[in-house]
Amino acid sequence: MSIDTARFATRAVHAARSQPSAPPRATPIYLTAGFEFDDFDHAADHFGTGNGFGYTRTGNPTVRAVERQLAALESGADALLVATGQAAVATALLTVAGAGDHIVSSAHIYEGSRGLLVDNLARLGIETTFVEDIADPDAWRAAIRPSTRALFAESIANARNDVLDVSAIAAVADAAAIPLIVDNTLATPSLLRPLEHGAAIVVHSASKFLAGHGSVLGGVVVDDGRFDPALAGHNAPHLVLPARGGGPSVAARHGGLARIAYARESVAPRFGATPSPLNAFLIGQGAETLRLRVREQSRNALAVARWLAESHAVESVDYAGLPSHPDHATASRYLDGGFGSIFTVTLRGGLPAARAFVEGVRIFTHMTHIGDVRSLVLHPASTSHASRSDEERARAGVHPGTVRLSIGIEDPDDLIEDLAQVLQRTKEVAA
């Protein structure tokens, strides 16, 4: 029976079945739960080897194309796309650590990552030690135990704008035969590629600069492909011991790519934060223009930060692009083509001034997001950092009068005009 002669309800679901077509130049969106097997043996081979595509939770051609694109941008060997940045951090950490293991993390990280470490991973038996002085390699070294499975830090950290000395901390990780995992969301591979400086794994919230349009969420794990079983196997028994049922180990099957292969086969599809192929497409579209946006946003951010630093309504500006910032030299050494576009400004007049600021801006959008083409503002002390104590907030650079800015691609003169009118108002409430 052919589809043409089938009945109405059958035609409805089968008549559009995909046909070979002309090769599309843009990445096609394979919005499908799964893929048809050629025959009996093809299905068995897919389940046995993981090769090809079977079900979108374990692989999808649109997702794969964007993974190749993001791996190339980060100078990585391979990448794994997941549903959110939070899922990327969780996947990377669960790829290297299990119950009884230990992680050493920068104390200056995204609040969602911190919550994952102190609440969720702790309940799974993974303990974390936080390093406060992240510029000091000895502080990292001193926190490492025999059970430590990774070092974790952000390339540029919010809110103090700390810039990581990647090669110095990567050397500490190498000496302990464990990976340095860097959350590179704020720097983006346009400014800094941590794998080129010795980090082993990079993670991103692709919801931010990689997409850039603020329309979708996504996350990515990028691996350097340099896992060495002889050097690091004792810290990763799950990669070097025979598989369940006695088959070859992950390292035997995937060599240097063992970590990302394990993340792809055994972590991401089991915990299940699979990206939608449509979202993957939108992230890939965004990433094509990453360099143009980040260059423009960095230029705008520097102009805005310089202007703010001169204002009488402002107490301090924490931006690594300003020579006054403690990490300016490190930033100048690592960042290529700008200093990023996210920073904090602390207003004179404390909380009332901050309230007047977020309520008075016209071009800036008041929301919890960063890395968008639009300029955004948020008051961290009453939102992202509300659950921390005053002392913890102060150590993180979050004061009652601190607002976080994410500078977009608008004309910088319009941004400065908006800030001028709003600082007039903050001065009135502070007076």
Ligand X SMILES: *Cc1c(COP(=O)(O)O)cnc(C)c1O
Q: In sequence order, which residues have a C-beta less than 8 Å from that of residue 219 and are 6 or more positions away?
A: 81, 82, 83, 84, 85, 86, 87, 88, 89, 91, 203, 204, 205, 206, 207, 273
- Which one of 60, 207, 235, 274 is in contact with ligand X (CB under 6 A)? 207
* 34-42, 160-168, 180-188, 390-398 -> range binding ligand X (CB under 6 A): 180-188
Q: Which is nearer to ligand X, 149 or 204 (CB)?
A: 204
* 15-23, 31-39, 178-186, 241-249 -> range binding ligand X (CB under 6 A): 178-186
- Tell me which residue of 294, 225, 268 sits closest to 58, measured CA to CA: 268
151: left (phi > 0), else alpha (psi -120 to 50), else beta?
beta
Considering only residues 337-396, where is the footprint of ligand X by CB under 6 A? 370
184 forms part of the interface with ligand X (CB under 6 A)? no
Bond before 139 cis per omega within 30 degrees: no
Minimum CB separation from ligand X for residue 402, in Å? 17
Minimum CB separation from ligand X for residue 156, in Å? 9
* 105-113, 270-278, 290-298, 413-421 -> range binding ligand X (CB under 6 A): 105-113
Distance CA 339, CA 328 (A): 9
Distance CA 267, CA 137 (A): 30
86 forms part of the interface with ligand X (CB under 6 A)? yes
Q: What type of residue is 299? A: R
- Which one of 56, 69, 91, 113 is in contact with ligand X (CB under 6 A)? 113
105 forms part of the interface with ligand X (CB under 6 A)? no
426 forms part of the interface with ligand X (CB under 6 A)? no
Structure tokens at 245: 């049922």
DSSP-derived pairing of the beta strands 314-318 and 342-347: antiparallel
188 forms part of the interface with ligand X (CB under 6 A)? no
* 56-64, 78-86, 126-134, 281-289 -> range binding ligand X (CB under 6 A): 78-86
Minimum CB separation from ligand X for residue 185, in Å? 4
Number of residues that bind ligand X (CB under 6 A): 17
Considering only residues 256-285, where is the footprint of ligand X by CB under 6 A? none
106 forms part of the interface with ligand X (CB under 6 A)? no
402 forms part of the interface with ligand X (CB under 6 A)? no
- Which one of 154, 224, 296, 318 is in contact with ligand X (CB under 6 A)? 154
219 forms part of the interface with ligand X (CB under 6 A)? yes
Closest residue to ligand X using C-beta atoms? 85
Minimum CB separation from ligand X for residue 117, in Å? 12
Q: Which is nearer to ligand X, 92 or 363 (CB)?
A: 92
Minimum CB separation from ligand X for residue 245, in Å? 35
- Tell me which residue of 430, 424, 305 sits closest to 375, measured CA to CA: 305
Q: Which is nearer to ligand X, 86 or 346 (CB)?
A: 86
Q: In sequence order, which residues have a C-beta less than 8 Å from that of residue 22 and are 6 or more positions away?
A: none
205 forms part of the interface with ligand X (CB under 6 A)? yes
185 forms part of the interface with ligand X (CB under 6 A)? yes
Q: Which is nearer to ligand X, 185 or 298 (CB)?
A: 185
Minimum CB separation from ligand X for residue 204, in Å? 8
Minimum CB separation from ligand X for residue 252, in Å? 33
- Which one of 30, 53, 110, 152 is in contact with ligand X (CB under 6 A)? 110
Minimum CB separation from ligand X for residue 234, in Å? 30
Minimum CB separation from ligand X for residue 219, in Å? 5
Interface ranges with ligand X (CB under 6 A)? 84-86, 89, 110, 112-113, 154, 183, 185-186, 205, 207-208, 217, 219, 370
